[in-house]
Amino acid sequence: MKVSSKVTLNNQKIKQLTKAAVIALEQTAEALHTEVVQEQVMPRDTGALQNESSFVDYSQSSRGRATLVSSTPYARRLYYHPEYDFKTDENPNAKAHWYEDWIDGSQKDFCKNAYKEFYRRAGGL
């Protein structure tokens, strides 16, 4: 028995889907940033950490990486020290480890579901 096959790649569609993956990644990272701000889990005094100093870094998105950055010198200290007594008058849910709900907690599927939807839209699927 002799079997043969022919594969034809649609390079235009592959490029479109590759671009859609980058767009979906960037949109997912921005959606996560927005979600964290809306859930009011970041410690807040003047609003600098949450508003002006936290942003999404897209510089590596074409390589499959988007990073949420908090550029204040005290962000790391606040994130990794749950023993601090966080004020809750501005953000009632303020706490350390404010991304944990999206990593392995109640919101763990947020990024996966957001990415699927953004990819579907950007890819024209």
pLDDT in tens, the chain (125 residues): 999 999 999 999 999 999 999 999 999 999 999 999 999 999 988 888 988 899 999 999 999 999 999 999 899 999 999 898 888 888 999 999 999 999 888 898 999 999 999 999 999 87
Give the Å distances, CA to CA, from 95 to 16, 59, 120, 122.
Answer: 41, 29, 34, 35
Tell me if 107 sits within 8 A of 101, measured CB to CB: yes
- The three-point CA angle 30-33-39 to 5° equals 140
Is the pTM of the predicted complex or chain greater than 0.85? yes
